A and B are shown apart, each in its own frame.
Chain A
Amino acid sequence: MEVLIPSNFNRFTMYDLLSSVIDNDLNPKDTVISFNFTKLKFIEPAGVTILSNLFEWLHKRGVSSRIIYPENCSGKKNPIQFLDDSNFFMRYAGKNLTRNPNPRPTTIPLKLVAYSDGPRWLEREFSFWLSNQLNIPLTSLATIRICFGEIFNNIRDHAQENIGCIFAQHYPGSNEIKITISDFGVGIPENIRRVRPSLQDDEAVMIATTEGFTSQTSPRNLGAGLHTLIENVVKNNNGSVHIHSNYGILNCTKGIVSNEVEKFASLKGSFYPGTLIETILKTDSIQNITDIEEEFEW
């Protein structure tokens, strides 16, 4: 079968593609699927991660994914060039589709990171890239680094898959960095329903971010990781966190009046295979963080 990648591909427009590939029993619709990129005009960082996650999910189920692409696809603003520069086609087509693919300074090329390599990736590649992008010392990035450490721990606790697909892009003009991590595991709702079987997917994702609520997937899981991520990114950094897992979506932003974290959960008709977490950091807030030694008092 052949499916069309939408002209503007992001976490909002992904559901039509997902439902054209995944059937109601949550199985792939075909054993060979051709992804047609000819109509693609723009792809967001989340779109790169979503496609990578989908290709990995299909591959795990024995599906052969093929790529149809336009003939003329070079140029900085061309999305095929952008994907090639991001290492996407090398990974999933086995070759580059453009003549001179080069990693862009404002992006971290697509990466699949195993849980065991997560901390090293955060301390080396991610921190050095972010430090260079923002021109601030590595010591100022400790809190941000830990936030993503929480995501890796969450993947291990919830996904039953130890690999995360990661892509990040810096938008200097809007003082934002978008970092999207996805796993192709069973999803947060599946785990939450082990202890709260009556919850819908949106309610399950919401409760997973509540401090102290634990699905007890690990005896030491005390339900603090996603809460810590959201508090740090939304409350302290003025950024936002968006979680898509199975049929559930949770958007976390800072209230304009309350100045507190506001969470809005919703239910989709299409299934996301695993968990996608898009984190939007405000870079001007990161620069204000100083993480120097501070005396501990109980």
Chain B
Amino acid sequence: MVIKIASHVERCYSNEEGKIIQNLIKSNLEKNVSLTLSFEGVSGVTSSFVNTAFIELLDNYNFDFIKANIKFIHTTKQINKMIKERYAFEVKKRNELVIA
């Protein structure tokens, strides 16, 4: 299933906008529906948006599950970098907490 992010939020700046997308993702993953998220019409994303929309999914799903079930399309260099760097940091931090 494809979700066009710009159809649900005006922009990708705040935690509140991130929460709208997080809820959409969760409701589909709970039904075992894999997702393709389209950033068509979105020029950039803040860390607050990414934290809430995507990073908080780690509270419910492991990283391998997220990678297997969520794809991103129509992204830019800035969007890719923000998503990948935030996941890299948070996954590493959570793994270190588990080991400790």
Which of B44, B52, B75 is A146 in contact with, Cβ under 8 Å?
Answer: B44
* Chain A residue at minimum C-beta to C-beta distance from B67: A298
CB distance from A57 to the nearest CB of B (A): 26
Which of A138, A225, A296 is B80 in contact with, Cβ under 8 Å?
Answer: A296
Taken together as a complex, chains A and B put the C-alpha atoms of A296 and B73 apart, in Å, by 7
Interface of B is mostly: helix
For chain B residues 82-97, which have a beta carbon within 8 Å of chain A? Answer: 82-84, 86, 89-90, 93
Taken together as a complex, chains A and B put the C-alpha atoms of A298 and B43 apart, in Å, by 20
Specify which of A152, A211, A224 lies most central, judged by the most chain B CB atoms within 10 Å of its CB.
A224
B34 within 8 A of A: no
* Chain A residue at minimum C-beta to C-beta distance from B40: A293
Taken together as a complex, chains A and B put the C-alpha atoms of A149 and B48 apart, in Å, by 9
Taken together as a complex, chains A and B put the C-alpha atoms of A293 and B89 apart, in Å, by 24
Taken together as a complex, chains A and B put the C-alpha atoms of A227 and B82 apart, in Å, by 12
Which of A118, A153, A294 is B76 in contact with, Cβ under 8 Å?
Answer: A294
Say yes or no: A150-B46 contact (C-beta < 8 A), given A142-B78, A291-B77, A291-B78.
yes
Number of B positions contacting A (CB below 8 A): 34
CB distance from B73 to the nearest CB of A (A): 7
* Chain A residue at minimum C-beta to C-beta distance from B63: A298
Specify which of A118, A119, A298 lies most central, judged by the most chain B CB atoms within 10 Å of its CB.
A298
B83 touches A296 (CB 8 A): yes
Q: Chain A, interface size: which category?
A: 20 to 34
A296 touches B75 (CB 8 A): yes
Task: Kindly list chain B residues whose C-beta atoms are within 8 Å of the C-beta of A29.
Answer: none
Taken together as a complex, chains A and B put the C-alpha atoms of A225 and B46 apart, in Å, by 8
Task: Kindly list chain B residues whose C-beta atoms are within 8 Å of the C-beta of A291.
Answer: 43-44, 76-78
Chain A, residues 190-226, CB within 8 Å of chain B (1/0): the string is 0000000000000000000001100000101110110
Taken together as a complex, chains A and B put the C-alpha atoms of A150 and B71 apart, in Å, by 25
B44 touches A145 (CB 8 A): yes
A139 within 8 A of B: yes
Which of B46, B67, B72, B93 is A153 in contact with, Cβ under 8 Å?
Answer: B46
Task: Kindly list chain A residues whose C-beta atoms are within 8 Å of the C-beta of B48.
Answer: 150, 153, 220-221, 224-225
A153 touches B78 (CB 8 A): no
For chain B residues 29-58, which have a beta carbon within 8 Å of chain A? Answer: 43-48, 51-52, 55-56
The 4 closest A-B pairs by CB, nearest first: A224-B47, A142-B44, A296-B72, A146-B44
Residues in chain A within 8 A of chain B (CB atoms) = 118-119, 123, 138-139, 142-143, 145-146, 149-150, 152-153, 211-212, 218, 220-222, 224-225, 227-228, 290-296, 298
Other A-B contacts than A119-B13, A298-B84, 9 sampled, CB-CB below 8 A, are A212-B90, A224-B48, A225-B46, A225-B48, A228-B46, A228-B82, A293-B75, A294-B75, A296-B73
Residues in chain B within 8 A of chain A (CB atoms) = 11, 13-15, 18-19, 43-48, 51-52, 55-56, 67, 71-80, 82-84, 86, 89-90, 93
